[in-house]
Amino acid sequence: MPKVMDYLISPYPLRMISLPIDPSKLQLRSLIILNVGHLPGRISFRHKATFDKWAFMYLAGGKGSYQVNNGAVQRVESGSLFFLRPGAIYNYGPDANGYWDEYYFTFKGSRIDEWLSTWLTNVDQAKQVGSDDATAFNRIERIFMLMESGLANNIDRAALLLETLLFEFILKNQMTAETTKTQQIIGLMDDLGDSLYQAFDAKSIAKRHHISVSTLRRVVSEYTGYPLNAYIHRLKIAEAKNILVRTNNSVKEIADALGYKDVFYFSRLFKKYVGDAPLIYRNKMQL
């Protein structure tokens, strides 16, 4: 494996391989790997970098930042993957006085357009794909070995392996994002359920979950089928039904406990959702 020293980039030996044969000797022309490299302990930061070929970087350690076209500065760390594409300007690298452990892959071919039209989306968004996947590291090492061999068939295999590696990275990111989203929604719905015995405050709940009130309304509507206020009223009225049956508390006491300061408003809501006034409901259930 070729190794070089460049103390401006890293204090450790760098592993870098460029396509060792003429591309015309390859059978797979739709995806050609041009360069692969491993920069352990990278310390250099690139400003206003541009590229004429596609590349992606995978961080196996350390942390830093990644910015595309003067957009938002994105934090990246061990397990992050991000792309470099033609036509964009990049600022990226490890934090000051820090480092990161970087694998990079530069490639070209018509297959990239197929990726972009199907499974490869949001290419300017760094993705967290994990750093503890032994299978991924094994594939990375195999790509390096196949490229180093200098044999056309092996370099074709490396390209196919690269596609598989990238696809599974993206799939893992999507699954992780979906799991995280589900957990966030479960936490939000649990919080709504825990807020029965107080006056409902949408702003406070939205703030606790780091979302806007409009997002809170949208999420509740999507996952319950009810507008936010209607959903909260339904939860409270369902609890009121239980209290009416299990206790001898007055309607006013129940309304107060559930955050309704106006007992007449509470009674109207109860009849709206249950069909009977609170005391009539209690009497029916005790027959």
Say if residue 127's pLDDT is above 60: yes
Amino acid at 268: R
205 and 154 in one domain?
Answer: no
Report the interhelical angle of 134-149 vs 152-194 (nearest 10°): 160
What's the pLDDT score for residue 143? Answer: 97
Q: Which domain holds residue 203?
A: 196-287
240 lies in some domain: yes
As to burial, measured by CB atoms within 10 angstroms (0-12 exposed, 13-18 middle, 19+ buried), residue 27 is exposed
**CATH at 221:** 1.10.10.60
189 within a domain of the structure (yes/no): no
Domain identity same for 121 and 146: yes
pLDDT of 2 above 70? no
- The domain boundary, picked from 180, 213, 236, lies at 180
Residues 134 and 238 in one domain: no
Indicate the helix (H) or strand (E) that contains 183.
helix 152-194
Angle at 83 between CA 44 and CA 140, to 5 degrees: 85
Q: Mean pLDDT across the stretch 117-144?
A: 92
Strand pairing report for 80-84 and 100-108: unpaired
Structure tokens at 31: 């995806």
Instruction: Please say whether the beta carbons of 100 and 64 come within 8 A.
Output: yes
Judgement on whether residues 145 and 101 belong to the same structural domain of the protein: yes
Q: Which amino acid is at 235?
A: L
Q: What is the pLDDT of residues 231-280, one digit of tens each?
A: 999 999 999 999 999 999 999 999 999 999 999 999 999 999 999 999 99
**Inside any domain, residue 185:** no
In a domain, 187, yes or no: no
**Number of structural domains found in the chain:** 2
| CATH for 90 | 2.60.120.280
Has residue 261 been placed in a domain?
A: yes
Residues 6+ apart with CB under 8 A from 217: 202, 227, 228
Q: Is residue 269 part of a domain?
A: yes
Band (pLDDT 50/70/90 cuts) for residue 1 is low
If asked whether residues 112 and 221 sit together in one domain, one would say no
268 and 159 fall within a common domain: no
Q: Domain check: are 234 and 143 in the same one?
A: no
Residue entry with tokens 């089928």: 225
- How does pLDDT run across 73-113, given as a tens digit for each residue? 999 999 999 999 999 999 999 999 999 999 999 999 999 99
Is residue 221 assigned to a domain? yes
pLDDT in tens, 138-197: 999 999 999 999 999 999 999 999 999 999 999 887 876 666 677 888 888 988 988 899
Is residue 142 within 8 Å of 161, Cβ to Cβ? yes
Q: What's the pTM value of the predicted model, to 2 decimals?
A: 0.67
226 and 126 assigned to the same domain: no
Q: Which residue has the tokens 């206003």?
A: 48
| Whole-number Cα distances in Å, 243 to 42, 179, 283 | 63, 36, 13
Phi and psi at residue 80, in whole multiples of 5°? Answer: -85, 150
Closest residue by Cα to residue 75 from 56, 62, 88: 62
